[in-house]
Amino acid sequence: MSISPFFKVLTCAAALQLAAGAAIAEDKSPWLVRLRLIDVAPDESSTVSIGGAVTADSKIMPELDISYFWTDHFATELILATTKHSMGATGTALGDLDLGHVWVLPPTFLAQYHFNPGGQVRPYVGAGLNYTFFYNNNPGDVASIKYSNGFGYALQAGVDVGLDDHWAINADVKKLFLNTDASINGGAVTADVDLDPWVFGLGLAYRF
């Protein structure tokens, strides 16, 4: 599957954000960055050709995101994080299988609404799209395994609690809808897997 449409979308979004920067007052930068520690907890379901279910473990990793405020209330955000997950299959016709591990990279672009932009406590909600890459996988007990990349959806809710004019503490939760088709041993075994992780984050935000 070609991934070029996703990068075209991101490139256009970034160009629009840079162009709009000239319209923002100099004393209030539209740019905000957050650095969080996140817990990525898959909420997986699957259909496996030899029965059973695919499992994926939770993982804690850092996450970086970059936001641009088009108005006081409306912002767009690009989220970047990658996590390594141990994979397995339970209850199959071949018993329980160790499917090794795989790195998952789901860059996510969100549109957000901020409810109280001028206050100390600033809640927000968001919704958007992600494109998920699977890479550097280790097949574990099987000879080979391949995961398909693809688009998905994302929902978000969070809050910034201001510390001063620039810094804030951030708490955030996201629900990502991620699907992949797994092909094991050259297609001898197949699985349709919904990972659909919850992503719980806590960190710091900085408004330039």
* Per-residue pLDDT at 28: 78
**pLDDT computed for residue 43 by the predictor:** 97
Spatial separation of the C-alpha atoms in residues 15 and 158, rounded to whole Å: 26
If pLDDT is split at 50, 70 and 90, which confidence band does 25 have? very low
Contact by Cβ (8 Å): 191, 184: yes
pLDDT for 119 beyond 60: yes
Alpha-carbon gap, residue 192 to 154, rounded angstroms: 19
- What does the pLDDT look like over 123-180, one tens digit per residue? 999 999 999 999 999 999 999 999 999 999 999 999 999 999 999 999 999 999 999 9
What is the rounded CA–CA span in Å between residue 161 and residue 121?
A: 5
User: Hey, what CATH topology would domain 32-207 get?
Assistant: Porin (2.40.160)
DSSP structure class, residue 28:
S
Residue 24 has pLDDT above 70, yes or no: no
Mean pLDDT for the chain?
91
What pLDDT does residue 144 have?
Answer: 96
Which pLDDT score, from 0 to 100, does residue 2 have? 46
pLDDT exceeds 70 at position 13: no
Compute the average pLDDT of residues 112-130: 97
Q: What is the pLDDT of residue 4?
A: 55
Confidence grade of residue 75 (pLDDT, cut at 50, 70, 90): very high
Quick one: pLDDT band at residue 12, thresholds 50, 70, 90?
low
Q: What is the pLDDT of residue 58?
A: 97
In the chain, alpha helices (H): 4-20
Would you say 87 and 100 are in contact if contact means Cβ atoms under 8 Å apart?
Answer: yes
Domain chopping of the chain, boundaries: 32-207
